[in-house]
Amino acid sequence: MIKYIIKRLLLLIPVLLGVSIIIFAIMRVFSPDPAGIVLGQHATEEKMVEWRAANGLDQPVVTQYVEYMKGVFKGDFGTSYYSKKPVAKEIFSRFPATLELAFCAIIIASVFGMSLGVLSAVKKNSWIDNMSMVLSLVGVSMPIFWLGILLIIFFSGTLGWLPAQGRIETLLRPENVTGFYLIDSLIKGNMESFSSAVRHLVLPSIALAMYSMAIIARMTRSTMLETLSQDYIRTARAKGIVERKVIRKHALSNALIPIVTVIGIQLGSLMGGAVLTETVFAWPGIGKYTVEAIMKSDFPIVQGVVLLVAFIFVMMNLVVDIIYAFLDPRIKYS
Amino acid sequence: MLLEVKNVKTEFKMKKGMVKAVNDVSFQCEKGEILAIVGESGSGKSVTSLSIMGLLARNAKVTEGEILFKGENLLDKSASEMRAIRGNQISMIFQEPMTSLNPVLRIGDQLTESIILHMKLSKQEAMQRAVEMLELVGIPSPSQRVKDYPHQMSGGMRQRVMIAMALACNPELLIADEPTTALDVTIQAQILDIIYRLREKLGMAVLLITHDLGVVAEAADRVVVMYCGKVVEEAKVEELFEKPLHPYTMGLLASIPRADEDKEKLYMIKGMVPNPMNMPAGCAFSDRCEKCMSICKEQEPAIREKDGRKVRCHLYTNDLEVIH
C-alpha cells in the first residue's frame, strides 16, 4: 500500500510538469502584455521595456520557463505583478475561504444526493423517483449564478433571513489560526462569530452544492439499481433481514465505489474555486481571484493557481483510490 | 404435512401483458423429505420456490392458490411475519455461490446476521454458532475462515458457506435452487452429500430444485416434474426412473448419457420450449411429443392419479382417475 502511494506520488511530477508547460505557454500566447496593463495605458515604451526586464519577460520563453521552474522547486512561485506579494502567500490567504465553501457544499451535495439517489432506486418508477430525478435534472441544468441570485432575492431580500454577501460580519472575524472561520471561531470559543460564519455559508453552499448533488443523486440511483438486482441482495432478503438493513448494509456498501469516485471528482473541482458562486456571493475565495488575475495578465498568480488545482486533482484521485481499498476488500494495492 | 402448495398461479406483468410462469401448481412436502422439482429453464421451478419464500420480483405476483406451511397460508402473512419465517423456519440456497455472498462483508458477519436476528443470540454466541455451522458443512479451520471475505474462497467453499448460513437457525424447510449447477462435478457430489447428510442429522425437509436428473437420482425421495409452469408428473424417485409415465419425463430420462450404453448420438427432445406468450392450445408439450394424439392439440389434459403417482397426459385418460 505504502509503495503504491509513493508510486502514485511520483506520478505527480510529470503531471505537474506537463500542466506547468501548458499554462505557461497559454498565458504567454493568449494573454495581453502584462506590462501594458500593470503600467496603464499612458505608460511610455521605455517604462514598459524596463518593467518587462525587471520581471524577466524580456527573456526567451524557454529561459523564462526554466527560471520559473527553478524557483518552483525551491518553493518560490514568484510574486504578483500587482500586490508584489509572494504568490504562495496570496493564494493561501484566499484558499481557506474556497475550501470552507467547497467542503460545506460537498457535504450538502453528498448527504442529499445520496439520499435522493437511494430513495429513487428503492422506489423506482414511483412518484418519489420521478420527483427526485426531475430535481436532479433541474440541478444539473440550472445555471449556478441564476440559482445564487434567486436564493439571495428570496432568503436574503424577501425573507431577510440570511446574509447575501461575504464570509462573515467584518467585526466578528475570528483571529486567524487555520483560515477556516468555522474552525477558528470554535477554537476561540466565539459562538457569535461561529453563527455568523455559518449564516454566511448557507446560501453559497446550497447554490454550489446543487450541481454536484444532482450528479451524485443520478450516480447513486443507477449504481443502487444495479446493486439491488444482485444475487447477494436476494440472499440477504432470504435471511429475513428488514429491508432498511438490506439497503443500507448490503446494497449501499457495494454501491459506494462509483459514488465515492463522483464525490471525489466533484470535490476536486469545487476546491479549484467556484468562480460564479464566489462572484455572486462576493466570497473572497480563489476562484474569483484567479479570474481577476487572468483578466489582468498576472502570470505568476495564474500559474500558481493552476499548479495548485492540478495538484489537488491528482491528490483527490489518489485519496479516492485509497478509499476504494477500504470499501472493497477485493481491491488490494501492491 | 410441512408444506402444501395448492393450485398456485404466479404471474409476471410484462409490457405485452401478463405471463403465467407458474400455472396451477400443486405438490406437498413432508417433514424430513427431499422433494425434487425437475424441469428445464423456464419451467417455473425457480419461480415456484421464490413464491414460497415471498421473494418474487416486483412485477410478479401469486394470483391464485395457497401455500400452506405447517397449515398456515404464507400468502396471508404480512411482510414482517414473512421476515420472521424467512431464514428461520424456511431458508434458501441459490444457484450461484460466486455471486450469492456479499463481496464486501466477512463470512462471519454474513453468517451471524440471521443467527442474531432469529435466535436472539449475542454477537459472541452467534459467532460461535457460525463457526460450528462452518465445521458442520466441512470447512477446515472454521474459526479462521469466518474472518475471510467471499473472494478468498472457492465456489464449492462458498456454497458450503451458503448452506451453513441457510441451516444456521435450524430451518424446517430448506429450499435449494440448483445448488450444484454452477459447480464442478466432484464438488457437486460433495455438496449433495452435505445436504443429504445434514437432512438426516437435522431432520429438515429439502425442496431440491434442479434440471439435473443425476442430482435427483442421487438425493431425492420424491420427484415433481414441471413443464411450462405446470406439474406434468409426480412420483417416488425409484418409480420415476424405472417407469416414467409422461412422454416429457421419458424424453428427459432418455437424454441422459449413460456409461453402459454405446450410443452414436444422444437422444434429444425435438423442438423448443414454447414461448409463454404464445402457448399451444391443448397440452403444452404436444408440439414436441412423440406420442402426440389429436386430442392433445385440442384439450389440455388434467392431472390423474394412480397408486401415489400423478401424471398430466391424455395417454392415461382411461386407466387413471381424474383428481381435479
CB proximity under 8 Å: A 270-329 to B = 327-329
Question: What structural domains does chain B harbor?
Answer: 3-89+171-270 (3.40.50.300), 101-168 (no CATH)
Q: Is residue A175 part of a domain?
A: yes
Residue A249 is part of a domain; what is its CATH number? 1.10.3720.10
Is A250 part of the contact surface with chain B (CB cutoff 8 Å)? yes
Could A240 and B85 be called an inter-chain contact, meaning their C-beta atoms sit closer than 8 Å? yes
Is the pLDDT at B324 greater than 70, yes or no?
no
Q: What is the pLDDT of residue B179?
A: 86
> Which of B82, B87, B104 comes nearest A239 by C-beta?
B87
Is the pLDDT at A222 greater than 50, yes or no?
yes
Q: What is the pLDDT of residue B44?
A: 86
Q: pLDDT tens across A280-299, in order?
A: 888 888 888 888 888 888 88
User: Mean per-residue pLDDT for A189-195?
Assistant: 83
Within this chain, do residues A106 and A251 fall inside the same structural domain, yes or no?
Answer: yes
Within this chain, do residues A52 and A180 fall inside the same structural domain, yes or no?
Answer: no
Final residue before a domain boundary, out of A24, A43, A73: A73
Report how far residue B166's alpha carbon sits from residue B187's, in angstroms, rounded to the nearest whole number. Answer: 19
Could B86 and A238 be called an inter-chain contact, meaning their C-beta atoms sit closer than 8 Å? yes
pLDDT above 70 coverage of chain B, percent: 97
Report how far residue B46's alpha carbon sits from residue A238's, in angstroms, rounded to the nearest whole number. Answer: 14
Q: What range does the domain containing A60 cover?
A: 11-73
Within this chain, do residues A63 and A103 fall inside the same structural domain, yes or no?
Answer: no
CB proximity under 8 Å: A 110-149 to B = none
Q: pLDDT tens across B169-205, in order?
A: 889 999 999 888 878 888 888 888 888 888 888 889 9
Output the CA–CA distances (angstroms, integers) from residue A279 to A145, A166, A273, A290, in the order listed. Answer: 8, 10, 11, 11
Within this chain, do residues A116 and A206 fall inside the same structural domain, yes or no?
Answer: yes
Within this chain, do residues A27 and A122 fall inside the same structural domain, yes or no?
Answer: no
Count of domains in chain A?
Answer: 2
Q: Is residue A123 part of a domain?
A: yes
Is pTM, for the whole model, over 0.90? no
Could A238 and B55 be called an inter-chain contact, meaning their C-beta atoms sit closer than 8 Å? yes
Q: Is residue A6 part of a domain?
A: no
Question: Which of A123, A239, A242 should be substituted to probe chain B, the one whose Cβ sees the most B Cβ atoms within 10 Å?
Answer: A239
Average pLDDT score, chain A = 87
Q: Is residue A326 part of a domain?
A: no
Within this chain, do residues A121 and A269 fall inside the same structural domain, yes or no?
Answer: yes
Q: What is the pLDDT of residue A22?
A: 92
Q: Is residue A224 part of a domain?
A: yes
Residue owning grid cell 475471510: B148
Report how far residue A173's alpha carbon sits from residue A178's, in angstroms, rounded to the nearest whole number. Answer: 13
- Residues of chain A neighbouring B113 (CB-CB closer than 8 A): 236, 239, 241
- Asked whether B190 and B1 are in contact (CB, 8 A), the reply is no
Q: What is the pLDDT of residue A193?
A: 83
Q: pLDDT tens across A132-174, in order?
A: 999 989 988 988 888 889 998 999 888 889 888 888 777 777 7
Q: What is the pLDDT of residue B297?
A: 84
For residue B20, list its beta bridge partners: B11
Is B87 part of the contact surface with chain A (CB cutoff 8 Å)? yes
- Residues of chain B neighbouring A241 (CB-CB closer than 8 A): 83, 87, 113-114, 117
Is B151 part of the contact surface with chain A (CB cutoff 8 Å)? yes
pLDDT above 90 coverage of chain B, percent: 31
Is the pLDDT at B273 greater than 60, yes or no?
yes
Within this chain, do residues A284 and A151 fall inside the same structural domain, yes or no?
Answer: yes
For residue B93, list its beta bridge partners: B176
Within this chain, do residues A46 and A103 fall inside the same structural domain, yes or no?
Answer: no
Within this chain, do residues A57 and A114 fall inside the same structural domain, yes or no?
Answer: no
Q: pLDDT tens across A10-61, in order?
A: 888 899 999 999 988 888 888 888 887 888 878 788 888 888 888 888 888 8
Within this chain, do residues A25 and A172 fall inside the same structural domain, yes or no?
Answer: no
Within this chain, do residues A244 and A100 fall inside the same structural domain, yes or no?
Answer: yes
Q: State the maximum Cα–Cα separation within chain B, in Å, rounded to a whole number.
A: 67
> Which of B80, B91, B118 comes nearest A238 by C-beta?
B91
Q: Is residue A317 part of a domain?
A: no
> Which positions ≥6 away from B307 have C-beta within 8 Å?
none
Q: Is residue A84 part of a domain?
A: no
Cell numbers of B138, please? 466441512
Q: What is the pLDDT of residue A259?
A: 93
Give the full edge-to-edge strand order of the sheet including B17-29: B17-29, B3-14, B60-69, B72-73
Q: Is residue A65 part of a domain?
A: yes
Q: What is the pLDDT of residue A51?
A: 84
Could B165 and A239 be called an inter-chain contact, meaning their C-beta atoms sit closer than 8 Å? yes
Within this chain, do residues A114 and A19 fall inside the same structural domain, yes or no?
Answer: no
Is the pLDDT at A215 greater than 90, yes or no?
yes
Could A328 and B104 be called an inter-chain contact, meaning their C-beta atoms sit closer than 8 Å? yes
Q: How confident is the model at residue A273 (pLDDT cuts 50, 70, 90)?
A: low
Is A189 part of the contact surface with chain B (CB cutoff 8 Å)? no
Is the pLDDT at B292 greater than 60, yes or no?
yes
Is the pLDDT at B243 greater than 90, yes or no?
no
Could A240 and B86 be called an inter-chain contact, meaning their C-beta atoms sit closer than 8 Å? yes
Question: In chain B, where does DSSP find H-type helix?
Answer: 45-53, 79-85, 97-100, 107-119, 123-136, 142-145, 155-167, 185-202, 213-219, 237-242, 247-254, 294-298
Q: pLDDT tens across B219-229, in order?
A: 889 999 999 88
pLDDT above 70 coverage of chain A, percent: 99
